[in-house]
Structure 1
Amino acid sequence: MTPQPRPLAPAAPPQVRPGPGGAARAPGLPSATGAWRHSLRFRLALTYSALALLMIMLVSAGVVILLLSRMDQQFTDRLNERADTLAEAITGSGQGLGRTASGPTAYTMLIDKSGQVIAASPILREYDRSPYPFGQQGRVDIQDTTVRAVQRPVGDFGTLWVGLPEDDLIAARESALSALLIALVFTPLLLLLVGWWVGKRSLSGLEHAATLADRLDPTRSLDTLPLPTREDEVHRLLSALNRLLVRIEAGQAREKQLLGQIVHELGAPLTVLRASLARAGERTGDAEVMRASLVADELTFTTQDLMQLARGQLEIRLAWHYIPATTLRDRLDRLVPGTAFTGQWSVGILCDPDRLTQALRNLLANARRAAGPDGTVTLNLTETPECLTFTVRDSGPGLPTDLGERIFDPFVSGSGSSGLGLSVSRQIAAMHGGTLKGANHPDGGAQFILTVPSAALADEEDEEDT
C-alpha cells in the first residue's frame, strides 16, 4: 500500500536565544532577571514615587517647621504672660511677693539689686538666700530639666526671674520629627507599590498589544492588533502600528509579486539553456561547455530558491512519494559531483523528491563551495525508528562564528553564495516535519544535520488514522 501524504507540518516557530541560566527568550526581549528594570511600568512608578516623595518632603518639612515655630511662639507667649502677671502682682501692692514661690513646680525667684536671691519657689529652694547663679541665660538646666527663663524688673524689689520647663515642648518636637522620619521611610515604598499597580492597570492594553505583536509571524498574514475601547495614547499608538502593518503587508505582497514575475521570466530560458549545455557537454566533452552547464545548473537552482521565497511556505504543497534512498543519492551525485556518500542508503524515504533534493543539493553545493576543488564533502544517511538523518560535512574553514543562527536567514551568507540555500533548505525540512541545524565540527569544517520522519513512523501514523 502506498502511504498517503501527511498534512503539512506547521511553520517553524521564531528562533529564540538562550537567556541567563539557559532559559530561551524571543529576540529583542529583556531577560527575566532584567525585565523589571526595562519595564515602562516600573520606570513610571519610580518616577512618580520620586516626585511624590520630593513634594511630600518639601510640604512635610514646611508643615513641621511651621508647627514647631507656632508651638515655640505659644510657649514663649505663655512664659512672658506668666512673667508679666507675677511682676504686676509684685509691683502693684507688694502683696504678691509670696506668689513667686506658689506651686510645687513653679520656677520663680526674686533677686535683689545686689544679686542675692531673696525668695524662690519650692523647687528652687537650693538657690534661696544665695547669689543668683544664671546671669542673663535664657535657657538653663535645673535638676535634669531644661527651663526657659525671662526676667522682669519689679521696682524696688529688684528683678523677678520666671522659668517654664520645656519638657513638653521638646517631646512634641521629637514626636513631630519622628513622625516625619517614619513618613519619609515608608511613604516611598507605599508610593512605589501604588504606582506599580496604577501603571499596570493603565498600561495593561499596551502590554497585551505587545504580547500579540510579538506573536506575529512575518511569514504569514500580518493581522492587525485589537484596539482598546478608550481612545487614549495607547489607542493612538496601536492605530499607528496597525497602519504600519498594513503598509508592510502591502509592500511584501508587491515584492513577492515582482520577484515571482522575474523568476518566472527567467525560468523558461534557463531550463532550455541548461538542457542545451548538458547535451552539448555530453556530445563534445568540452571542459568549458561542462563548466557552463554547471553554471546553468547553479542559476536554475537559484531561481527555484527565489520562487520558493516568493511563494512562501504556505503556498507550496508537497507531492509525497515513497522512493528508495539510492534514487535520491543518484540525483545528488549528478548535481554535485565529487560528493562521498556514506551510511545506510538501502532504506526508503517518504518525501517530496524534488523538494528534498533541492534542500540537500543546496547543502552540498555550499559545502563544495567552502571546501574548494581539492576539499572533501560527505553526505551520511542514518536511520532510526523515528527519523532519517542526513549529515553534510565539508573540510572547509567552517561557519562564521559571528553569524550564529542568522546563517539561515534569507540573503545572509558566509561563503559568497546568494544566501538563499540554507533558508530554503530549512523551510523544506520544516515542511517535511523535520529540522535543519548547522554548526562547526570539532575536527574542523562545517556540518549540517537535516532530519525527516522515517517512513516506518509515517506508516504507523496512517494506520492509527484509519
Structure 2
Amino acid sequence: MSRAPLRTARVAWRHSLRFRLALVYTLVAFALIGVIGLGVMTLLLRQMDAQFQTRLNERADSLAEAFLGRGQSLGKSPGGTGVYTMIVDEDGRVLAATPALRQYEGAPFPFEGQGTVQIAEVPARTTTRTLGDFGTLWVALPEDALIDARRIALNALLLALLVTPLLMFVVGWLVGRRALAGLGEAADLADRIDPTRSLATLPLPAREDELHRLLAALNRLLLRIEAGQAREKQLLGQIVHELGAPLTVLKASLARAAERGGDPEVVRAALVADELTFTTQDLMQLARGQLEMRLVWHFIPAATLRGRLDRLVSGLTFVGDWDGMILCDPDRLTQALRNLLANARRAAGPGGQVSVTLRETSEHVTFTVRDSGPGLPADLGERIFDPFVSGSGSSGLGLSVARQIAVLHGGTLTAGSARAQEGRPGEAVGGAQFTLTLPGAALGDDEEEVGEAEEEREALPVP
C-alpha cells in the first residue's frame, strides 16, 4: 500500500501576509494622495485665483489710466481683448460700453454691487475704478480659463486617487511576493517536517535580514525540541525497561499462584499485572515512535487471533467469520485489538456487552469493536487517538498505539457510535464503535496482493 503524499497547507489569498501588506500600502497611498493632492490643489487654485484677481486689477488700472490720459470723450469706451467695460455716470446710467454690452448704453447700470456676473453665459469677475468727473469705470474679466484650470486640476486629482492606489496594490503585491518568497518557502518546508523523524533545520537566506533572524530562531527552537524529544524518549525507555523485568516476574508468579489456589484476590492481582504489562508495552511503543516499530509478517488463521483475544479480555462476543486467514504481524495486531477491547470492557463495565466482528473481503479485513457503554465524549473527536487523551479513565496510550499499528499495516482506525446491524446477533449496541481496517490478502491462483504486502514489508524502515 502506498502512502498518500504530504500536502503542504496553502494560505488563502485574502488571509496572506502579502495581500494584507499590499492592501495596507494601497490604503496608505490613497490617504496620502488624497490629503497631499487636496492640499496642493487648494494651494494651486488659490494662487490661480490670486493671479486672476491681479490680472483683473491690472487690466482695470491700465484701462483707467489710458482713459484719463487720452482724455477720451463720453461717447467712446476703452476696452481690450476678452475684457468687458462700461462707464457709469454719477446717476447710475451707462454712458458707454464695449460692443458686447452695447445694449445697456443709456439704461440704468444693471450690475450694481455684483462681484461676478454672467455675460454671454460665461461667468465674469468685476471691479471698478473712479474716473473723476467722468464717473466710474466698470471692468469685467471672463473666468472661463480659471474654470477650465479648476476642472483639469480636479480631474487630475481624481485620476491620481483611482490609478495610483491600484498601481500601488499591484506593485506592493509583486514586491511582497519577492520579499516574502523566502518566508513562504520556509513555511512550506516547516509544513513538511515529520515530527516522528529527526527534525531538519530550515535553510537560511543569504541576506542577514529579519527573515534570516526568524529562520535562525526557528532552527534553534527545532534543535531544542529535538534534543528534548530525545531526552524524553530515552527517559521513557529507561523507565519502561526498569519496569518490564519486575512486571514479568510478578505476572508469572501471580499466574502460578492463581492456578494453585484460585484466590479471587490473586486472580484480580494477576489481571492488574496483565494490564500493567500492556501499559508498559504501550509506553515502549511511544518511546520508540511509530517509524521505529518493525513488523514481522505472518499468514495466520483468524481463529488463532480470536483465541489470543479471548484469553486477554474476558466476556467477549465474537461475531462474523473467524475461519479465514489474515496477513499481519500477530503480536502487533493482537496488541492493537487488545487495547480496543480493554477500553471497551472498561467502558461497558463487568455486566456490559463487548463484541468484536470480523468481516473479510478480497480487498479488506475489518475488525469492528463495539460496547454497550456510554459512548465516546462528543468534545474529543479525533483527539481520542492522541497520546494521553482518554475518555474512559485509562492511560490514554492504547488508542494512539492501536492507530499506529493499523497505519503500519497499511490500514486505518476510526471511531464512532455503535448501531444495530440487521442479521448480526450478538453485537453490542449503544456505546462506542472502533473500526480497524487492514488490506486484504486472499490467496488463490493470483498472488499479486500478497506480493504487494511483501513489497510493503520490505519498504518499512529498519531501526
- C-alpha distance 212-412 of structure 1, shift in aligned 2 (>3 A): same
Q: Does 1:311 align with 2:288?
A: yes
TM-score normalised by length of structure 1: 0.90
- C-alpha distance 221-72 of structure 1, shift in aligned 2 (>3 A): same
Q: Does 1:155 align with 2:155?
A: no
Q: Which residues in structure 2 correspond to 1:352-363 (within 5 Å)?
A: 352-363=329-340
- Cα distance, 1:96 vs structure 2: 7.6
The match for 2:31 among 54, 65, 79 is 54
Residue type matched to 2:441 in 1?
Answer: A
- Cα distance, 1:463 vs structure 2: 4.9
Instruction: Give the corresponding residue for 2:153.
Output: 176
What is the distance in 2 between the residues matched to 1:307 and 1:92? 118
Secondary structure in 2 matching 1:280: helix
TM-score normalised by length of structure 2: 0.91
What is the distance in 2 between the residues matched to 1:200 and 1:113? 77
Q: Does 1:379 align with 2:356?
A: yes
Kindly indicate whether the alpha-carbon contact (under 8 Å) linking 1:105 and 1:123 is maintained by their aligned counterparts in 2.
Answer: no
- C-alpha distance 86-303 of structure 1, shift in aligned 2 (>3 A): same
The match for 1:411 among 388, 396, 419 is 388
| Higher alpha-carbon deviation: 232-241 or 130-139 | 130-139
Residue type matched to 2:325 in 1?
Answer: G
Instruction: Give the corresponding residue for 2:59.
Output: 82
Secondary structure in 2 matching 1:95: coil
> Which sections of structure 1, spanning at least 5 residues, go unmatched?
1-7, 15-23
What is the distance in 1 between the residues matched to 2:70 and 2:123? 32
What is the distance in 2 between the residues matched to 1:191 and 1:114? 65
- Cα distance, 1:141 vs structure 2: 1.8
- Cα distance, 1:182 vs structure 2: 2.5
The match for 1:201 among 172, 175, 178 is 178
Instruction: Give the corresponding residue for 2:108.
Output: 131
The match for 2:43 among 43, 61, 66 is 66
- C-alpha distance 99-239 of structure 1, shift in aligned 2 (>3 A): farther
| Higher alpha-carbon deviation: 176-185 or 223-232 | 176-185
The match for 1:454 among 427, 431, 440 is 440
What is the distance in 2 between the residues matched to 1:97 and 1:118? 7
- C-alpha distance 13-381 of structure 1, shift in aligned 2 (>3 A): farther
What is the distance in 2 between the residues matched to 1:171 and 1:322? 95
Instruction: Give the corresponding residue for 2:378.
Output: 401
- C-alpha distance 98-339 of structure 1, shift in aligned 2 (>3 A): farther
The match for 1:370 among 344, 347, 363 is 347
Secondary structure in 2 matching 1:100: coil
Kindly indicate whether the alpha-carbon contact (under 8 Å) linking 1:103 and 1:122 is maintained by their aligned counterparts in 2.
Answer: no
- C-alpha distance 292-83 of structure 1, shift in aligned 2 (>3 A): same
Instruction: Give the corresponding residue for 1:18.
Output: none
Kindly indicate whether the alpha-carbon contact (under 8 Å) linking 1:9 and 1:430 is maintained by their aligned counterparts in 2.
Answer: no
Q: Which residues in structure 2 correspond to 1:423-442 (within 5 Å)?
A: 423-442=400-419
What is the distance in 2 between the residues matched to 1:427 and 1:350? 17
Instruction: Give the corresponding residue for 1:43.
Output: 20
- Cα distance, 1:456 vs structure 2: 2.1
Instruction: Give the corresponding residue for 1:327.
Output: 304
- Cα distance, 1:136 vs structure 2: 2.4
Give percent identity, aligned residues only: 69
Task: Compute the RMSD of aligned alpha carbons.
Answer: 2.2
- Report the number of matched residues: 443
Kindly indicate whether the alpha-carbon contact (under 8 Å) linking 1:87 and 1:154 is maintained by their aligned counterparts in 2.
Answer: yes
Q: Which residues in structure 2 correspond to 1:136-285 (within 5 Å)?
A: 136-285=113-262
What is the distance in 2 between the residues matched to 1:220 and 1:361? 27
What is the distance in 2 between the residues matched to 1:99 and 1:407? 107
- C-alpha distance 104-93 of structure 1, shift in aligned 2 (>3 A): closer
- Cα distance, 1:152 vs structure 2: 0.5
Kindly indicate whether the alpha-carbon contact (under 8 Å) linking 2:301 and 2:326 is maintained by their aligned counterparts in 1.
Answer: yes
- C-alpha distance 13-271 of structure 1, shift in aligned 2 (>3 A): farther
- C-alpha distance 36-116 of structure 1, shift in aligned 2 (>3 A): same
- C-alpha distance 79-99 of structure 1, shift in aligned 2 (>3 A): farther
Secondary structure in 1 matching 2:77: helix
Instruction: Give the corresponding residue for 2:83.
Output: 106
- Cα distance, 1:381 vs structure 2: 0.4
Kindly indicate whether the alpha-carbon contact (under 8 Å) linking 1:117 and 1:129 is maintained by their aligned counterparts in 2.
Answer: yes
Residue type matched to 2:440 in 1?
Answer: S
What is the distance in 2 between the residues matched to 1:321 and 1:312? 22
- Cα distance, 1:178 vs structure 2: 2.0
- Cα distance, 1:433 vs structure 2: 1.1
Kindly indicate whether the alpha-carbon contact (under 8 Å) linking 1:147 and 1:166 is maintained by their aligned counterparts in 2.
Answer: yes
Kindly indicate whether the alpha-carbon contact (under 8 Å) linking 2:371 and 2:418 is maintained by their aligned counterparts in 1.
Answer: no
What is the distance in 1 between the residues matched to 2:334 and 2:5? 24
What is the distance in 1 between the residues matched to 2:290 and 2:231? 17
